[in-house]
Structure 1
Amino acid sequence: MEALYFLVFGALAVVVATLELSKSSKDRINTSPAFNAFKNNYLVVYSLMMAGDWLQGPYVYYLYSQYGFGKGEIGQLFIAGFGSSMLFGTIVGSLADKKGRKRACVTYCITYILSCITKHSPQYKVLMLGRILGGIATSLLFSAFESWLVAEHNKRGFDQQWLSVTFSKAIFLGNGLVAILSGLVGNILVDNLALGPVAPFDAAACLLAIGMAIILSSWCENYGDPSETKNLLTQFRGAAAAIAADEKIALLGAIQSLFEGSMYTFVFLWTPVLSPNDEDIPHGFIFATFMLSSMLGSSIASRLLARGTPKVESYMQFVFLLSSSSLLLPVITNFVVVPSGVKGGSISFSGCIQLIGFCTFEACVGIFWPSIMKMRSQYIPEEARSTIMNFFRIPLNIFVCVALYNVKAVPMTVMFGMCSIFLFVASLLQRRLMVIAEIQKSKSQEWTSMNERSIEAEPLNI
């Protein structure tokens, strides 16, 4: 069975490498040396930030269990992290628009480093503080960096289409290659060097400190709306008004919440659903295969974004349909394939089918990230970008907290069925977004044409 995992992993690696190396001129966007230097600087920082996050992920639950905490207490710690991201993270993340996106990125580094330090204590209260800090950091990671990038990109006068190059490369590296390398480094630190489960958190803190030094030394500050007359409540109201006034922004927020909510639920459930009878599955290989699948998706997205056709609003509705079908597989196999009921052994036949579906879903995740970033850069107003992006995360965090709280009470087939429905709804909303965008574009072109004809028809006064 291990030979099969090696074969699948190797085949995916070959496909990803082939896609990247076989890009033609149509698949690449010609850019300037100044933009390439800017892009590479951002990619180095973003990769370090994501490495700091990925190093911790596989060992959080394990560390808590080593300290002697049970599933109930560990569940409370995880819920606290998402709750903190929803409450405190939204406030701190929104301050980025007013106080500066660079400062928010530095705050992310400091907050996450402090969270890593708390992992050295076995005391529940200290670990809870660490989860709260980690929740705040997560909100900053998924809003402040993108907000800084978009604002700085526009401020330097780079072509708007070039943003997709940075987005796709950031996901290819940060959510793909860096994740795989982080898993390998974490495994070496904990198992090979026997440094204990806290070692990956110390390594993460070091990488975050290096990234913070680069930010402080090479990044410029930019703001959304730095007006001193606007307090935080006014800023929230302005962001809410912008969402209510523009259906495209509201649709984008709903789509993001539905997809990411399903994605985080999948992260919690893929291990038990692939080993319902305590089958011996290679978690490390499967995780690496998922990340390779995500890299494959981001490589596909970079080609689509570079060509410009089909439009991102168009192809994403099919991506959501494919992801919906992928997460429906556990429900289908539960009814079609008779469970063995035998404890232990290798992965079952239904598990193999589900694994193919999960790899497909991860490829959809790889397409989703640069594509949603591209749409956010088009539709979200600059003055409240971080605030609105954190508003989008409120329903996401509520859903994840509810899912975590009821994970034992609700059957996994119901959870996956619910995620599949959410993704199908996201596809319908994406279709609506595409239609609205096309109507508004058509009206804008008609208005421009009318103005041009009006100017041409005006008599010359001599």
Structure 2
Amino acid sequence: MMELVVYGVFVGLSLLAYGTRHLANKSEDKKISVSNVNFKSFQKSFFLVYFLALLGDWLQGPYVYKLYAYYGFKESQIAVLYVAGFASSVVFGTCTGPLADIFGRRKCAIAFSIIYTFCCLTKLSPNFNILFIGRIFGGIATSMLFSTFESWYVYEHSEKHGYPPEWIGITFSITTFWNGIIAILAGIISNVGAETLGFGPVAPFVVALGPLVVCGILVIRTWEENYGNRKNDFSGSCMEGLRIIFRDENILLLGTIQSLLESCMYIFVFLWTPVLDTGSTSAPLGMVFSSFMVCIMIGSSTFSLLASKGFSEENILKFCLYLIAGTMTVCCFTARPDASSLDTLISFAAFLVLEIGIGMYFPAISYLRSQVIPESHRANVMNWFRVPMNIITCGALLCLHIESVSRDKRLVFGACLVLALTGILLCNRFMKTFGAKRMEKLQPVDLGKEEKSGLLTEAEG
């Protein structure tokens, strides 16, 4: 029953995603067309490497929880493994960017391939300690994925080749679109390997070895080394981002809102599998994951439609928080220990709505960050935003060691509801301060459409 529902929902959502994307394209201005042959060749060399890295990352998403459960670990033990990955991001996430600047982005991209390949290999072992080490290295690799590759491209684009800066937006609008397509395909491939062909939940991690190894080989063979500012003091560079956050109320408010909302998102990353894949109701997790990714694409298109109708990004952000608060409220009733099949279906529907909200959230927050964070310290400040998010997420998952919380997930969804409601209150304050500051400028900045139509920056990572 659940399997038929999931496949039917995936087909319906795919048609809806196509329709909303078509409407969004009609509402947007015609994109800049670039016919420079050398630029297109340079783009393709970046896309090939980056898309393989993304595929290797996304393939690991749908069956992480299922694999740990397959090895016989209790939910509290699985939570510790998730916490190891998030804690690793807290410790290393703020320094991967500066380290890449100092030691070289090409070297870090090669290191990403090696580290993430090792992470996948640890999944072949049922030993808890080996899996724990793998999660730590996975957190490091994820931080490198969302800093090193983009930094390498921007330097090559601007400093080495001297292409116009507006062409950068063209490249990243393409990567944003294909990121979503790759995520959907990764979910389907994972489902086929684990469920259809019957190789079990370890299959997606074996498949992920291919693109990760090829990615590293291509970096070695086709990329040249480049660096950032190698003269900056490492510790001073990291702390400067923190000082900037506390000096500007808009940055502090936006960063807090981001931390609260993304905490809900990453707690959901852990919870969706045990809620949907119960003893009485078994769901095809790869197709569920692909359905989530289609919903994110629908949300991205919905953002473009709302923006074209005159809705401000801060209003769209507030609407996303309301959507998340609503879905968490629903799950506070349906994610009970003795959930019926109908309860599970309602939870699944709520999760789909949540993912649509997430799809709207990413382009909204990207635009707002571009307006309030100084360009010179953007990567540093954004890494600091992730610290409280990871701490909140780790705290929530560690609470699963408490038997009453582990048995009744509604308590965790209730905590997420509180986070979302707090985000709404802070968003009201941000809208006042940000609006006042924008009025002072008299001439608002007209950002490129491609930055407003982003789909996914660190997913699930």
TM-score bucket of the superposed structures, by smaller chain: 0.7 to 0.9
Partner of 1:58: 62
> Which letter maps to 2:258?
Q
Residue 349 of structure 2 corresponds to residue 347 of structure 1: no
Pairs within 5 Å for 1:297-336: 297-304=299-306, 307=308, 309-332=310-333
Instruction: Give the Å deviation of 1:66.
Output: 4.8
Partner of 1:293: 295
Paired residues of 2:191 and 2:285 also in contact (CA < 8 A)? no
Residue 430 of structure 2 corresponds to residue 433 of structure 1: yes
For residues 265-318 of structure 1, what are the alpha-carbon distances to aligned partners after superposition, in whole Å with 9 as ceiling and x for unaligned?
11222344446773344434433322221121122234456x493332332212
Paired residues of 1:144 and 1:386 also in contact (CA < 8 A)? no
Instruction: Give the Å deviation of 1:61.
Output: 3.6
Paired residues of 1:105 and 1:144 also in contact (CA < 8 A)? yes
Pairs within 5 Å for 1:154-173: 156-159=163-166, 163=169, 169-173=174-178
- Pick closer, same or farther for the CA change 1:216–1:303 going to 2, 3 Å: farther
> Which letter maps to 1:237?
M
> Which letter maps to 2:388?
P
Instruction: Give the Å deviation of 1:237.
Output: 1.8
Distance in 1 between residues matched to 2:122 and 2:22, nearest whole Å: 43
Paired residue for 2:118, among 95, 114, 121? 114
Partner of 1:49: 53
> Which letter maps to 1:389?
M
Paired residue for 2:86, among 82, 88, 110? 82
- Pick closer, same or farther for the CA change 1:199–1:157 going to 2, 3 Å: same
- Pick closer, same or farther for the CA change 1:204–1:279 going to 2, 3 Å: closer
Partner of 1:249: 251
Distance in 2 between residues matched to 1:375 and 1:341, nearest whole Å: 42
Paired residue for 2:358, among 333, 356, 365? 365
Distance in 1 between residues matched to 2:199 and 2:222, nearest whole Å: 34
Distance in 2 between residues matched to 1:69 and 1:333, nearest whole Å: 25
Instruction: Give the Å deviation of 1:329.
Output: 0.9
Q: Which segment drifts farther, 32-41 or 132-141?
A: 32-41
> Which letter maps to 2:178?
L
TM-score for the superposition, normalised by structure 1: 0.80
Instruction: Give the Å deviation of 1:54.
Output: 1.9
Paired residues of 1:168 and 1:298 also in contact (CA < 8 A)? no
> Which letter maps to 2:166?
D
For residues 394-420 of structure 1, what are the alpha-carbon distances to aligned partners after superposition, in whole Å with 9 as ceiling and x for unaligned?
111111211111124424222212212
Partner of 2:417: 420
- Pick closer, same or farther for the CA change 1:251–1:103 going to 2, 3 Å: farther
Paired residue for 1:184, among 174, 188, 197? 188
Residue 384 of structure 2 corresponds to residue 384 of structure 1: no
> Which letter maps to 1:136?
I
Partner of 1:453: none
Equivalent pairs, count: 433
Paired residues of 1:380 and 1:388 also in contact (CA < 8 A)? yes
Instruction: Give the Å deviation of 1:340.
Output: 11
- Pick closer, same or farther for the CA change 1:193–1:340 going to 2, 3 Å: closer
> Which letter maps to 1:19?
T
Instruction: Give the Å deviation of 1:136.
Output: 0.7
Paired residues of 1:223 and 1:383 also in contact (CA < 8 A)? no
Distance in 2 between residues matched to 1:167 and 1:142, nearest whole Å: 13
- Pick closer, same or farther for the CA change 1:199–1:326 going to 2, 3 Å: closer
State the secondary structure of the residue aligned to 1:58.
coil
Pairs within 5 Å for 1:218-297: 226-228=229-231, 230-274=232-276, 278-297=280-299
Partner of 1:445: 442
Distance in 1 between residues matched to 2:8 and 2:175, nearest whole Å: 27
Instruction: Give the Å deviation of 1:137.
Output: 1.1
Distance in 2 between residues matched to 1:251 and 1:261, nearest whole Å: 15
Partner of 2:99: 95
> Which letter maps to 1:116?
C
Paired residues of 1:281 and 1:347 also in contact (CA < 8 A)? no
Instruction: Give the Å deviation of 1:142.
Output: 3.3
Distance in 2 between residues matched to 1:303 and 1:235, nearest whole Å: 39
Paired residues of 2:63 and 2:286 also in contact (CA < 8 A)? no
- Pick closer, same or farther for the CA change 1:355–1:428 going to 2, 3 Å: same
Paired residues of 2:298 and 2:359 also in contact (CA < 8 A)? yes
TM-score for the superposition, normalised by structure 2: 0.80
Instruction: Give the Å deviation of 1:327.
Output: 1.7
Instruction: Give the Å deviation of 1:112.
Output: 0.9
Instruction: Give the Å deviation of 1:18.
Output: 1.7
Distance in 2 between residues matched to 1:110 and 1:340, nearest whole Å: 41
Paired residues of 2:62 and 2:289 also in contact (CA < 8 A)? no
- Ranges in structure 2 where 5+ consecutive residues have no aligned partner: 445-461
Q: Which segment drifts farther, 350-359 or 56-65?
A: 56-65
Paired residues of 2:185 and 2:290 also in contact (CA < 8 A)? no
- Pick closer, same or farther for the CA change 1:65–1:265 going to 2, 3 Å: closer
> Which letter maps to 1:416?
F
- Pick closer, same or farther for the CA change 1:434–1:116 going to 2, 3 Å: same
Partner of 1:397: 390
Instruction: Give the Å deviation of 1:52.
Output: 0.9
- Pick closer, same or farther for the CA change 1:59–1:233 going to 2, 3 Å: same
Distance in 1 between residues matched to 2:309 and 2:43, nearest whole Å: 20
Distance in 1 between residues matched to 2:337 and 2:404, nearest whole Å: 23
Instruction: Give the Å deviation of 1:254.
Output: 1.2
For residues 127-152 of structure 1, what are the alpha-carbon distances to aligned partners after superposition, in whole Å with 9 as ceiling and x for unaligned?
32221111111222334445556666
- Pick closer, same or farther for the CA change 1:254–1:74 going to 2, 3 Å: same
> Which letter maps to 2:392?
F
State the secondary structure of the residue aligned to 2:310.
coil
Partner of 2:453: none
Distance in 1 between residues matched to 2:337 and 2:213, nearest whole Å: 50
Give the number of the structure whose alpha-carbon radius of gyration is greater: 1
Instruction: Give the Å deviation of 1:92.
Output: 2.8
> Which letter maps to 1:27?
E
Instruction: Give the Å deviation of 1:261.
Output: 0.6
